Each structure stands twice: as C-alpha cells, then as structure tokens.
Structure 1
Amino acid sequence: MVAADNLQKTPESSQFDLRAYLKERQKLCEDALDKAIPIRYPEKIYEAMRYSLLAGGKRLRPILCLASCEMMGGTIEIALATACALEMLHTMSLIHDDLPAMDNDDYRRGKLTNHKVYGEDIAILAGDGLLAYAFEYVVTHTQNVPLERVLQVIARLGRATGATGLVGGQVLDLESEGKTDISLETLNFIHNHKTAALLEACVVCGGILAGASSEDVQRLSRYSQNIGLAFQIIDDILDITATGEQLGKTAGKDQKAQKVTYPSLWGLQESKQKAQHLISDACAELEPFGEKALPLKELAHFITNRKH
C-alpha cells in the first residue's frame, strides 16, 4: 500500500484520512474473504482458491463497492457479500491471466503464481471455482436488500466478467500482442473491457444495493469508467518505471511482449497528464453527493498516485 506521505494532497485530504480508511477497510475485507471460503474436501482446490484470494493486494475493488454503497445511503453490511464476490472475480481473472497460455507470469503480489504452486490444471479449476462461487455468494449472503436489486447486481457481474467485459477485452489484448499498428480506439476498447468493466461493476453495484436512482447510477458509471482507464494508464506507466520488487510481479512484460500501451502511444509525461485529467473528470461526477463522496474522490486520487 502507498504510504500517506507519498500521496499528493488534495483539498479534501485534510478532511479525510485515506491511510486509516484503507487500513480499516482492507482488514474488513480480508476477514470477510477468509471466512467466505473455508477449506473443505477436496482440500487441494480450496487451498488453491484461498492461496490467490488471500495473497494480499490493495482490495481496491471491494473497497470501492463499500464506499459507493455508503455514499448512496447504504451500509457496509448490505454490500459486503457483493464486495467479496467482486474480489473473487478479480482473483479469478489474475489466476487465468498469469497462465502460460495467457501472460505466462511467474509472480503475482510478490508470490509464485497459482499455476507455479498447484499446476496449470488446478489453477484453471481454482479460477473456475472462484468465478462460480462469486455468484452463489452474492445470492446466499446478501441480506436486507430487495430481490430486484440483487438480480441487477448478478446481471452486472455477469456482464463485467463475460465476453461483454474482461473476457472480451482479454481476447482482443491477446490478439494485439506483437502488432505495432494498434489504434488508440482499439487500446481503449481493450482496457474499457479488461480493466474498467469490473471496476465499474464495483462502484455501480454498491450504488444499486443502496437503491441509487438511474441518474445516480449513470454518474457512478461515468466516475468508474474514468478511474478504470486511469488505473490502466498508471499500470502501463509502472510496468516501465517500477521494479519487479515494487510491482510484486515481473516488470517490463509489456515491452517484452511488444504490447501497444498508453506510454508507447503518448509517452510517459502525456500519459500521466491524461490519467490526472481522467481522475478530475471522475471526481466532478461526484460533486452532487457533497462530503459523502470524499472516500470515492480520495480513492480516485490514490489510483494515480500509487507506486505499485
């Protein structure tokens, strides 16, 4: 996690302790995820699922879900199951993304990737297990929420993870490797689906659970689309500027795979400026919510100021 001292100060920073907020919410999410998947028979698959699910990380996605729900007048309790499910889906995507057939990575979050520990067969099944259980978990553990809202959440999660979301983005990403004529339009499509779609689901689902109006859902969508693209731009920058130790995974993979990235199109400085502009636009969407929006605004700034 980026230390508070490394974060650029914003006007809201003096009113909101992001470091304490992240620490508290990360602990909350870690405890909930640990309880969500106990080890049963056959032990190996549950161990593999837990290995990647509990491997650390910023827990940004579940935290965004909780923050959105609270901003819209809901509670942590009604959003926690969906927040956990979102982290399960994200973890599934990481397990599969690291496979030899995909990005072929040996390390994730500073630890050996799932297939390096359990083998490719079990890694694939661990991802599949997390994918299926995420939907079951929302249905069986969401309480005190009208059924139609839960159904909307399920539909959003399916859209974000399937061919309309990260699967579709991943396919185009794989097809684009080694090609030097990838357009900005194609690059945006890849990352709006591969990265931003799940982040959008995190924010929007939190709002839906709290009963957000259609107008507010649109605001949440625009906010999350902007931070999703900014997140990817910063990822592309860090792949160039950070070390493997800082990233917790292999550095420089994009260049080695001859991937077109935002820095390769714009350069580092312009990429940073574009990311900052996206964050400003994202925060502007939250103005109608006043002080209740401080957590989401600060989380947006955290995205562009992170070091890993």
Structure 2
Amino acid sequence: MGFQDGLAEAARTIEDHLRHVLSDLGGLPVVQAMGYAAAGGKRLRGYLVLEGARIHGIAPAQAIWPACAIEAIHAYSLVHDDLPCMDDDDMRRGMPTVHRKWDEATAVLAGDALQTLGFELVACPDCHPDAVVRADLALSLARAAGARGMVLGQALDMAAEQADTPLSLDQITALQAGKTGALFGWSAEAGARMARADIAPLTGYARALGLAFQIADDILDVEGDAAQMGKAVGKDAGRGKATFVSLLGMDGAKRRAESLVTEACDCLSVYGSEAGNLQDAARFVISRRT
C-alpha cells in the first residue's frame, strides 16, 4: 500500500480504535470532550508508529496500541495549547476548540485524561506480551512528552515571547526539537522498540522530519489559507515571534526544509525499499497545505 492510501487507512484504523477505547469510559462531558479532541487530523504520528512496526515485523493488532497512544498524547497537547493561558485559539481543525465548545475546566480535564490514556494504552498487555517492552515504551513516551521533550519545548516557546530579543536559529532549532520533534521521534522509534531492534536510523530520520515539519508549519503560517487549515494563520508574525521564515527568509526556509527531507530519507537507507512509505511521509510534511 502506498503512502497516501496507507495514511488514510491508518487514520480510519486509529479513529476506530480510539472510539472503541473511549466507549468504555461512559458519557460524561469530559469523555465527550476527549473524543471530540482526539477526532480528525492527519494521524501522521500514528502512521509513523504503524509503518515502523510493519518494517520490524510487529503485528498490526499490537502496533495499534502505541499508534493510538501517540495520537492521544498529541490531542492532549493541542487541547492545552489552545487554552487562553497558552495560545488562546478559537478554532482547531475547522471546529471550535474544546474550551470554546465546553469550558476551560472541561478542556483541562479532557487534556489530562487524554495524556494519561496514552500511557494506559502502551501499558496494556495487548500492546506487547513482554512487560519490559511495555515499560520501555512508557518510559520513552514520558521523556518525549514531558519536561525533557514536548513540554520543555513549549515552555521555551512561552519564555521566548517574554524575552527582550528574538531567539537565534540555533535556539529555535533546539526549542522545536522538543516542542514538535520529540513526539515524532517516539512515533518513528516505537516499532523498533517493540522489536528490540536498533532505533538509531529512525531516530535520525525523525529528527530531520520533525524539524522539516515545523519549518513547513512556519511557512503555512505565512502562506497558508485559514479556511483550508481550519485555524488562524499569521499569528507568529502578529506576535513578533522569531521563526524559521523570519530568520531564513521564505526561500531559505523552503530550501532548508527540502534539505532536511533528503537527510531524513538518507537515514533510512539501511531498510532499503521497505522504507519507501516513510520516505514518502518525509516528502509529505513539506508539501502539505494543512
């Protein structure tokens, strides 16, 4: 199955599995908000889990658990990122953000519950029969999502908004390696972790892919269409934030993104033709319009 068909199939499979998991939690508003927040999106992180697992011979019935876990963690981060105390966004994926559809307290709780759900999914025995492997998935996910990874990146981003001088290119690169890149890294590595295989090629791949993804986001914040993207654009410039575009220029940012895609693809050479879909995923991140 090619990349585009595989991404669409992964999205359907992840959506169905998350809906099944959430159906056991009842019908409270917080559960409704969890399902609302976790619905939709490209499911690129979950796709990376599934494709990395396929390359390493992991059964889809096992791989779906970490694939849904990373999507739950990603959804939680978006719910909290949209809150008035963070980015104060009204729209996400073309729909009202969770705190607008419900309220801030429900949004906080829904995000909290999605975060813990992610760890529940990788700790589930159906994810992997070996408890040591499940523990490794949980530990590495905690590091990627927490104060060593995504949360660290978000904290640095918030601090930068209060700083007297814009961040340098090296500082932005380090910030985004946490805020955006850490979850991509875990997604790409999960299949190898499940197989107890070498994660190094996928670590290098994901490092380049995550940075390319963020540069593409910065480009879309300038060139993107709000209706097509389902959220506001132009916010970075409005806040005077340093971005890859502001530092490299539009042409420079696009060239840097293309170079990173080449780097990501080169990291996968050890897998030969088996890595074709992952290489297409890297090319996708800089050609997308949402």
Q: TM-score normalized by structure 2?
A: 0.96
SS at match of 1:267: helix
- 1: CA distance, partners of 2:26 / 2:280: 42
User: Is 1:45 the counterpart of 2:27 in the alignment?
Assistant: no
Q: Deviations over 1:105-163 (max 9, x none)?
A: 00000000000011111101100011112111221253444221111110111001111
Corresponding residue for residue 106 of structure 1: 90
Letter in 2 for 1:131: Q
Letter in 2 for 1:274: R
Runs of 4+ in 1 over 4 A off after TM superposition: none
Asked whether the 8 Å contact 1:66–1:79 carries over to 2, the reply is yes
User: Is 1:148 the counterpart of 2:132 in the alignment?
Assistant: yes
For CA contacts below 8 A with separation 6 or more, give which structure has more relative contact order. 1
Asked whether the 8 Å contact 1:178–1:259 carries over to 2, the reply is no
SS at match of 1:177: helix
Corresponding residue for residue 79 of structure 1: 63
- 1: CA distance, partners of 2:27 / 2:21: 16
Q: % of aligned pairs identical?
A: 37
Q: 1:210 to 1:250 in 2, by over 3 A?
A: same
Corresponding residue for residue 31 of structure 1: 16
SS at match of 1:58: coil
Asked whether the 8 Å contact 1:177–1:259 carries over to 2, the reply is yes
Q: TM-score normalized by structure 1?
A: 0.91
Out of 121, 125, 146, the position equivalent to 1:137 is: 121
- 2: CA distance, partners of 1:161 / 1:143: 19
- TM-fit CA distance, 1:269: 0.7
Corresponding residue for residue 99 of structure 2: 115
Cα-Cα RMSD: 1.4
- TM-fit CA distance, 1:84: 0.3
Runs of at least 5 residues in structure 1 that lack an aligned partner in the other structure: 1-15
Out of 75, 79, 102, the position equivalent to 1:91 is: 75
Q: 1:225 to 1:53 in 2, by over 3 A?
A: same
Q: Deviations over 1:26-80 (max 9, x none)?
A: 11111111112116446111001111111x1100010000101111222222211
User: Is 1:223 the counterpart of 2:208 in the alignment?
Assistant: no
- 2: CA distance, partners of 1:236 / 1:290: 32
- 2: CA distance, partners of 1:78 / 1:41: 25
Q: How many residue pairs end up in the alignment?
A: 289
Out of 172, 186, 203, the position equivalent to 1:201 is: 186
User: Is 1:303 the counterpart of 2:288 in the alignment?
Assistant: no
- 2: CA distance, partners of 1:96 / 1:109: 15
Q: Deviations over 1:154-211 (max 9, x none)?
A: 0111001111011111011011116443111211111000000000010111211123
User: Is 1:188 the counterpart of 2:170 in the alignment?
Assistant: no
Letter in 1 for 2:205: Y
User: Is 1:233 the counterpart of 2:233 in the alignment?
Assistant: no
- TM-fit CA distance, 1:17: 2.9
